[in-house]
């Protein structure tokens, strides 16, 4: 069952989560119904891609209103395709929300067990990972491109939560819209790195297309990494949306040849929520 349900033209919600947990906000934006122009048309949420700052801020304010979460309560990151994950508190609110320079440096994931904080990360093909441990009120988000995936950022989140007392069996993960296997071609260098972390996996999540070119299923690699970290397969759900194929809904770095906008993943407990 597809976990992402189009709520309005500008955003998807993880409907099974938001229906089940009171005042949880979780989902991903589309590229539509924004104010950016030219290559960033129209709902670009990324500060770092060369768009006009006022347009990005206007887009962010629109999303804040759409999801009912004040912009000054967001946190954002300078994402560098590593596996650094930051635990955040209410004291961090506003960092990276309306200015790139204030964002968390060198960070590709967030988690918190506090209310009133919206965890946000930017995407244009990489894999968005959403985490929740409802018994603990813990939520998290991680950005997994191929580098973050082979560095096992998904397992890093599980390990960090383990240090908080949360067992892998208590964690639920949703894998979000990202580039699909048929659209994602990589070379043997990348496949070798994938193989290194999946040596005991029989059915490999890639295919040889021609010499030194492979189709790679990044979403499936992340699922396998999560399973190896102890998260039960039945606790993991994954989207069928592809950021490259579904051109009417998403920006795609590969499809758009590098000059394009960014969608935003978001997850947070509203102030008056109870776990």
CA distance 117 to 119: 6
pLDDT exceeds cutoff 50 at 72 = yes
Helix segments in the chain, DSSP class H: 15-20, 53-67, 146-150, 153-163, 188-197, 218-228
What is the per-residue pLDDT across 114-144, written as a single tens digit (0 to 9) for each? 999 999 999 999 999 999 999 999 999 999 9
What is residue 43's predicted lDDT score, i.e. its pLDDT? 99
Domain boundaries, the chain: 4-160+172-179+236-269
**Residue 274 in 3-state DSSP?**
coil
Task: Give residue-wise pLDDT tens across range 138-175.
Answer: 999 999 999 999 999 999 999 999 999 999 999 999 99
Q: How many residues does the chain have?
A: 275
Whole-angstrom CA distances from 253 to 51, 117, 123, 124, 143 are 15, 28, 9, 5, 15
Tokens describing residue 197: 């972390």
The whole-angstrom separation of Cα 96 and Cα 75 is 6
pLDDT above 50 (res 274): no
Contacts 24+ apart (CB under 8 A), 153-157: 153/82, 153/83, 153/85, 153/108, 153/109, 153/129, 154/129, 154/222, 154/225, 154/226, 154/229, 155/225, 155/226, 155/228, 155/229, 156/83, 156/85, 156/109, 157/85, 157/109, 157/111, 157/129, 157/131
d(CA 47, CA 74) in angstroms, rounded, equals 14
pLDDT at 273 over 70: no
What percentage of residues in the chain have a pLDDT greater than 70? 99
Residue 272's pLDDT band (cuts 50, 70, 90) = confident
**CATH topology assigned to domain 4-160+172-179+236-269:** 3.60.140
Phi, psi (rounded to 5 degrees) for 96:
80, 10
181-218 confidence digits (pLDDT tens)? 999 999 999 999 999 999 999 999 999 999 999 999 99
Are residues 256 and 264 in contact, defined by beta-carbon separation less than 8 angstroms? no
Classify residue 268 as exposed, middle or buried by CB count within 10 Å of its CB (0-12, 13-18, 19+): buried
For range 237-256, the mean pLDDT = 98
Place of tokens 């990276």: 96
């Amino acid at each position: 069952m597809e976990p992402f349900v189009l709520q309005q033209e500008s955003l998807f919600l993880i409907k099974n989560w938001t229906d089940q947990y009171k005042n949880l906000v979780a989902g991903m934006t589309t590229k539509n119904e924004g104010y950016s122009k030219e290559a960033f048309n129209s709902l670009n949420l990324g500060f770092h891609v060369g768009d006009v700052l006022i347009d990005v801020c206007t887009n962010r304010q629109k999303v804040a209103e759409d999801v009912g979460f004040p912009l000054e309560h967001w946190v954002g990151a300078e994402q560098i395709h590593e596996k650094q994950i930051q635990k955040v508190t209410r004291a961090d609110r506003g960092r990276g929300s309306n200015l790139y320079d204030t964002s968390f440096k060198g960070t590709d994931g967030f988690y918190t067990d506090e209310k009133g904080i919206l965890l946000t990360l930017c995407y244009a093909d990489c894999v968005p990972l959403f985490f929740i441990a409802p018994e603990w009120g813990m939520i998290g988000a991680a950005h997994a491109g191929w580098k973050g995936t082979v560095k096992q950022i998904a397992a890093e989140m599980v390990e960090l939560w383990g240090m908080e007392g949360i067992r892998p069996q208590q964690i639920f993960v949703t894998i979000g819209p990202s580039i699909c296997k048929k659209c994602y071609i990589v070379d043997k260098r990348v496949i070798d790195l994938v193989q290194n972390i999946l040596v005991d996996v029989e059915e490999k999540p890639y295919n040889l297309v021609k010499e030194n070119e492979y189709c790679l299923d990044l979403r499936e690699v992340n699922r396998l990494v999560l399973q190896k970290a102890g998260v039960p397969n039945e606790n993991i759900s994954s989207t069928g949306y592809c950021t490259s194929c579904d051109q009417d809904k998403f920006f795609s770095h590969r499809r758009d040849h590098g000059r394009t906008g960014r969608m935003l993943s978001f997850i947070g407990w509203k102030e008056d929520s109870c776990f």
